[in-house]
Amino acid sequence: MGISFDKVDGATWLKFEVHPATNAVSEADRTAKLKDPGFGRVFTDHMAIVRYNQTDGWHGARIESRANFPLDPAAAVLHYAQEIFEGLKAYVREDGGVNLFRPDANAKRFRNSADRMAMAPLPEAVFIEAVEQLVRIDRAWIPSGEGSLYLRPFMVASEIFLGVKPSAEYIFAVIASPVGSYFKGGPAPVSIWVSENYTRAAIGGTGAVKCGGNYAASLRAQAEAISHGCDQVVFLDAVERRYIEELGGMNIFFVFEDGSLLTPPLGTILPGITRDSIIALAKDKGTQVREEPYTLDQWRADAASGKLKEAFACGTAAVISPIGQVRSASGDFTINSGAAGPVAMGLRKQLVDIQYGRAPDPHNWIRKVL
């Protein structure tokens, strides 16, 4: 039996009721927490929440105290993993205002993820409004300097049943977590373990979807990387086990001696918003950017010959992480003598400066919330 989402698009008119927290953290406690918030361990006072069912469509939009919400033991998400999420940040400008970076792109990807997972697609306007409302009410939680407010929109299937079908009920929520500078003293090159035993996604699968199952499936490979003394894992394609795809949670780029960039093509990998932004900024400078398959053997040979000058990973949390060493069961190799390269660091600075409002925004990526 199919599922109808007829009332989805009608939700664009939703107005959020704002209910300030009655148990908000004191200013003194908040200041203490913001001194060293780490990543994803400290949370703000509020959350946004919207519910869906087939009778009412999307409804009950609220900003309220961050708290547990009940899930029945038979809730669909707990059994069949209908769940998606996003990650984006809010940044404080020098004038004290607050920027969001490309929230429209997150909203679109969230809707695409919902479609692939047979979930009720959330109107993009509702996604953006939920994020903006939460940023406004929890503005005081955004760290100063190079800190930011990490925003985690997510949706879970909440219908109570044990049959295998798309859920007819969903909860969409947004929570927020202040984060300090991802790198203290600047980004240090990371070491990468090539996973030759585990794959992340196959053609026709959910590799392009930001769903929890993809990340759960990567954890064993990440543990293997750590056991080999590496910071991160990189996956090969699921068919030939030759082509570089992406890291456990980041896309990857390669920089060549002619100045060109190469990144694996979309299809089985996540269409990263940072990835897309880097491609646009590089092309602005006249840099050739190729979205092409690239094998592990090519990577090793190009690093040895000097044809490959840099490699770096990218994502919302770290922005850009230079890759210094690659390890695998078939042998190790070093890139750029294990040091961060000028292309990666130049792109990182350019992107971060746009995010914080310190540089021009040629693509109109910034959305000013305050």
Vertex 210, ends 275 and 166: CA angle to 5°?
Answer: 150
The CA distance from 214 to 209, in Å, is 8
> Given 3-state DSSP classes, what are the helix, strand and coil percentages for the chain, each rounded to the nearest 5?
30, 30, 45
Min mean pLDDT across 6-10, 16-20, 307-311, 315-319 is at 6-10
pLDDT at residue 152 tops 90: yes
**Structure confidence at residue 4 as a pLDDT band (50, 70, 90):** very low
Are β-strands 366-368 and 57-65 bridged in parallel, bridged antiparallel, or unpaired?
Answer: unpaired
Are β-strands 17-18 and 57-65 bridged in parallel, bridged antiparallel, or unpaired?
Answer: parallel
Instruction: Over range 124-148, report the average pLDDT.
Output: 96
Give the pLDDT of residue 292.
Answer: 98
At 345, give phi and psi (nearest 5°).
Answer: -70, -30
Arithmetic mean of pLDDT over the chain: 94
pLDDT at residue 85 tops 90: yes
Greatest Cα-to-Cα distance within the chain, rounded to the nearest angstrom = 63
Instruction: Over range 121-144, report the average pLDDT.
Output: 97
Tell which wins on pLDDT, 146 or 106.
106
The CA distance from 278 to 351, in Å, is 8
Instruction: Over range 130-134, report the average pLDDT.
Output: 98
Give the pLDDT of residue 144.
Answer: 85
Give the pLDDT of residue 121.
Answer: 96
Give the pLDDT of residue 12.
Answer: 55
pLDDT at residue 271 tops 90: yes
pLDDT at residue 350 tops 60: yes
Instruction: Over range 191-201, report the average pLDDT.
Output: 95
Give the pLDDT of residue 331.
Answer: 93
pLDDT at residue 6 tops 60: no
DSSP string, 99-143: EEESHHHHHHHHHHHHHHTT-PPPPHHHHHHHHHHHHHHTGGGS-
Give the pLDDT of residue 2.
Answer: 40
Tell which wins on pLDDT, 87 or 36.
87
Instruction: Over range 35-54, report the average pLDDT.
Output: 95
Instruction: Over range 337-363, report the average pLDDT.
Output: 97
Give the pLDDT of residue 43.
Answer: 98
**Structure confidence at residue 296 as a pLDDT band (50, 70, 90):** very high
Number of residues assigned to the chain: 370
**Structure confidence at residue 289 as a pLDDT band (50, 70, 90):** very high
Ordered structural domains, the chain, with CATH: 9-179 (3.30.470.10), 190-355 (3.20.10.10)
Question: Would you tell me the crossing angle of helices 124-137 and 103-116 to the nearest 10 degrees?
Answer: 130
pLDDT at residue 369 tops 50: yes
* pLDDT single digits (tens) 226-248: 999 999 999 999 999 999 999 99
DSSP string, 31-56: HHHHTS-TTTS---SEEEEEEEETTT
Instruction: Over range 203-213, report the average pLDDT.
Output: 96
Helix (H, G, I), strand (E, B) or coil at 190: strand
**Structure confidence at residue 116 as a pLDDT band (50, 70, 90):** very high
| H or E stretch covering 248 | none
The CA distance from 351 to 272, in Å, is 14
Give the pLDDT of residue 55.
Answer: 94
Instruction: Over range 269-286, report the average pLDDT.
Output: 98
Question: Would you tell me the crossing angle of helices 342-355 and 273-284 to the nearest 10 degrees?
Answer: 110
